[in-house]
């Protein structure tokens, strides 16, 4: 069963290029160490709210350890207004909707 991580936070400046570069560098290093590539998004109606998404994490404990070590290494949290909020979700195995047939489409 894989785990998906949704990490959101508020930034002081929605156009903080240095913070964006630091987060992207952290994500690249995390991908090299864990094999899990992350995405960085900004909320459409509140661009000061950013989200990192990491999906299909097979080894959550190792991933979390690496992620926190890199967040510390790149000084990510010290630049945020309220800190990082990490939410984890697991796949509901077997809850895949059946494919529709040509008649149903």
pLDDT digit string, tens, across residues 10-40:
998 878 899 999 999 999 999 999 999 999 9
The label of the residue with tokens 């989200």 reads 51
Is 97 part of a structural domain of the chain? no
Per-residue pLDDT band at 99 (split at 50, 70, 90): low
Region 44-72: mean pLDDT is: 96
CATH number for the domain spanning 66: value is: 3.30.70.100
User: Which range of residues forms the domain containing residue 17?
Assistant: 3-90
Is 96 part of a structural domain of the chain? no
Q: Give the pLDDT score at 105.
A: 46
Give the separation between CA 75 and CA 50, rounded to whole angstroms.
16
Q: How many domains does the chain have?
A: 1
Is 101 part of a structural domain of the chain? no
Is 21 part of a structural domain of the chain? yes
Q: Give the pLDDT score at 91.
A: 85
Is 82 part of a structural domain of the chain? yes
């Amino acid at each position: 069963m894989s785990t998906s991580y949704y990490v959101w936070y508020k930034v002081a400046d929605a156009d903080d290029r240095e913070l964006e570069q630091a987060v992207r560098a952290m994500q690249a290093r995390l991908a090299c160490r864990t094999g899990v590539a992350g995405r960085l998004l900004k909320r459409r109606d509140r661009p000061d709210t950013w989200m990192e998404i990491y999906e299909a994490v097979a080894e959550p404990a190792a991933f979390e350890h690496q992620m926190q070590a890199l967040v510390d290494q790149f000084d990510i949290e010290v630049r945020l207004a309220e800190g990082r909020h990490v939410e984890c979700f697991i796949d509901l195995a077997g809850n895949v909707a059946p494919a529709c047939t040509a008649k149903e489409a």
